[in-house]
Amino acid sequence: MTEKRITEMKNLCTEMREKIITMIAYAGKGHPGGSLSAVEFLAACYFEEMNLRPEDPAWADRDRFVLSKGHASAAIYAALAIKGIISPEILDTYNRFGSILQGHPDSKKCPGIEISTGSLGQGFACAAGMALTGKLDRKDYVVYALCGDGECNEGEIWETCQSASKYHLDNLILMVDQNGFQGDGDVREIMPPLDLAKKFEAFGFDVQSIDGNDIDEVVEALKKARIKKNGKPQCVIGKTTKGKGVSFMENNPDWHGKAPNASQCKTALTEIRAHYIPAKETI
């Protein structure tokens, strides 16, 4: 990406983080930690890599995005709103009764959601099914799936890896948000993930390990993964910071599934907005 585009993408990430905090604080519930850590992955997919038609979210030849870590729904809603797939005005209905923006994505209610997720591991399995369908139908679309490192405790992740390798799903790109924490604490203490890169490689994936909060690295890794048609499914493991952008949330598992109060929200938004890069600096 050019320097100007990198700046634009950084500002998009900041805007997404601002919307995430605002949504969750207004609703009084949600999952800020894992939503904030995953922003660069979602931004790279929706604003740089994926072939989409915002005016026609169900376009048959679109690329697919599956949020396997469905509790990070605020992040995908922010991306969908900025992309123009859903109206920004409905973000303040997030996680409320009757809203199309439920705490976990609902594909029957919200445009742009490919599959309802929330039960960890299942989203990635569905993504592999979509990729296999694309192969069988001789379609060119790519399926992107985002899971967490805590989610990699699920056996279904590894069963899906076996299938993806068996069927040579090189149109499947798995992104792992490796923020080091899950709902109950440090993943190394709960169930050590060991070397995730070696594990995915052992299951037949091509693997790239990157800084998952560096938008330039994320975009470049996804570009490489997309064009690498070698019969292998692709995996991009991004080392990220839980609660990225908000000092009191960073690397703090207490903020896995808790909303900030009014005072905390104000502090969080001040910190996030400090990362906006003025337009004059993009010249």
How far, CA to CA in Å, does 117 sit from each of 54, 68, 108?
21, 6, 11
Q: Report pLDDT digits (tens) over 28-60.
A: 999 999 999 999 999 999 999 999 999 999 999
79 neighbors 36 (Cβ within 8 angstroms): no
**Cα 41 from chain centre:** 5
As a whole number of angstroms, the distance between CA 252 and CA 242 comes to 7
Amino acid identity, position 122: Q
Q: Where are the domains of the chain?
A: 3-282
Closest by CA to 124, choosing from 159, 166, 95, 91, is 159
Q: Report pLDDT digits (tens) over 149-160.
A: 999 999 999 999
How far, CA to CA in Å, does 212 sit from each of 47, 117, 145, 188, 237?
16, 22, 14, 19, 7
218 neighbors 174 (Cβ within 8 angstroms): no
Confidence grade of residue 234 (pLDDT, cut at 50, 70, 90): very high
Per-residue pLDDT for 16 more than 50?
Answer: yes
What confidence score (pLDDT) does residue 280 get?
63
Q: Report pLDDT digits (tens) over 150-199.
A: 999 999 999 999 999 999 999 999 999 999 999 889 999 999 989 999 99
159 neighbors 121 (Cβ within 8 angstroms): no
**Residue pointed to by tokens 């992740």:** 157
Question: Is the pTM for the entire model greater than 0.85?
Answer: yes
As a whole number of angstroms, the distance between CA 69 and CA 111 comes to 18
Amino acid identity, position 231: G
Amino acid identity, position 134: G
Helical residues (DSSP H) of 137-232, grouped into ranges: 155-166, 187-190, 196-202, 215-227
CATH superfamily of 3-282: Thiamin diphosphate (ThDP)-binding fold, Pyr/PP domains (3.40.50.970)
The tokens of 20 are what?
């995430």
Per-residue pLDDT for 281 more than 70?
Answer: no
